[in-house]
Chain A
């Protein structure tokens, strides 16, 4: 199998003054892969995504999307990308439909393609009720869904989603997770999503990447992540592994409420 990666990041480094937020991160994502990007607050997830999507210039290292270098061929690379930035930014004064039409046009869709793209994305994210509402009047969950819809308008082969389910109710979380999984399995897209919900990784991802202090500390399947927990841990095994990977001193055996002896 000689598939080429849709996302290819090599030795990404981001230095903010004297602080190194991302320290030599490599990431390759192939078609059909759904990567859960994990790490504590401030680990560098958003910063990494911002470099891969071309918003922030890396201090060093390179990133390419669908084989196009984001620094030297930004427009060609970005055509293949759907990106949900952290906090799902949108223009508060615009109606949802206007906003989606604007983004569709900015992505190069025209005429009937715009309408088709907006309708499809609104259906996928169930935005029917709010299409005529202005963005500033939306609830947090709907705003996030508009941000997600915006990333799907042109049916891109690459999706980078910064906390796509944050603020969604349980039903919507379920729907959106299903949508993401299908887009990877059936749509053959390369998807990276960051999240703080570890169960989400088991539910939708076929690969997990954990970063801590700007460095990759785990890259493998969710099952492999789970295997790292000792057998005596029976509840919240992923939480245990996560803490072990991202805490500076290893958790002491016996003092964690999830380490229940069977």
Chain B
């Protein structure tokens, strides 16, 4: 006769429950960190500055499409998004809570996706808080609402792309400051490769295939040249989806690597 206790049967939970549990903790945690508050204040103040600088919002045709507003987003995100993503994993390493997380019955995907989605949702909430800018241009002029909506979609995707890069960088570091600096550098590179002067510099000495590749991976060209002009192109959607998937996949690999070390 077996004297083994039958392990207590744990109720089966839906597949998304683990991701949702991580998401919930992380999302709420953003509201207790000063960095998130700073992110919110800087982002909203900057968009406020834009609002007062109305001449920039309303383009010469009298069509307010908020191009000036959205053109700023890549450069605001460059510093603000790494401030959000730096603590994602660096803090887990430092506090030792990664050991707790990885010994819970959760998959690596639950952890990586839950954290990423929480940061992305937080950034989206902050972006949504800029809606008074939209109201203002609607009041002052006759904007093309479709173009503005495309700008918001693009801006959300851009933030997601930066966050995925920041997530991977954060997974490789114990130190938040290091994670921040490296993320800013990586995101800066991904912006610059699509910036006109840098592109022509590369064209001068790199083989065309390589300089075209560098231009193709730029966050800037996939945002400023499309969404901000009101164009939602499947290629840009696929681009950002690929960047996000790649960033999260690398995050998972780096975390698995820590366990193998």
Interface residues of A (CB under 8 A from B): 1-4, 6, 16, 30-32, 50, 53-57, 66, 74-76, 78-81, 83, 85-87, 89-94, 102-103, 105-110, 113, 150, 154-158, 188-189
A236 to chain B, nearest CB (A): 33
Given contacts A50-B99, A66-B7, A80-B7, 7 further A-B contacts (CB under 8 A): A3-B4, A6-B7, A31-B4, A31-B5, A54-B103, A79-B7, A157-B7
Contacts of A4 in B (CB 8 A): 2, 4
Contacts of B103 in A (CB 8 A): 53-55, 78, 81, 83, 85
Contacts of A106 in B (CB 8 A): 18, 21-22, 101, 104-106
Interface of B is mostly: loop
Asked if A85 meets B18 with Cβ closer than 8 Å, knowing A4-B2, A157-B7, the reply is no
Interface residues of B (CB under 8 A from A): 1-5, 7-8, 10-11, 13, 17-18, 21-22, 24-25, 29, 32-33, 95-97, 99-107, 259-261
Contacts of A79 in B (CB 8 A): 7, 10, 105
The reply to whether A6 and B259 contact each other, CB–CB distance below 8 Å, is: no
Asked if A2 meets B10 with Cβ closer than 8 Å, knowing A54-B102, A92-B95, the reply is no
Contacts of A31 in B (CB 8 A): 3-5
| Bound CA span A105–B105, Å | 10
Contacts of B102 in A (CB 8 A): 54-55
| Bound CA span A102–B96, Å | 16
A144 to chain B, nearest CB (A): 13
Q: Which residue of chain A is the closest to B6 with respect to CB atoms?
A: A157
Subset of 27 A-B contacts with CB under 8 Å: A1-B1, A1-B3, A3-B2, A6-B4, A16-B261, A31-B4, A55-B103, A80-B7, A83-B103, A85-B96, A91-B25, A93-B29, A93-B33, A102-B21, A105-B17, A106-B18, A106-B21, A106-B22, A106-B104, A107-B104, A107-B105, A108-B17, A110-B13, A113-B11, A154-B10, A158-B7, A188-B5
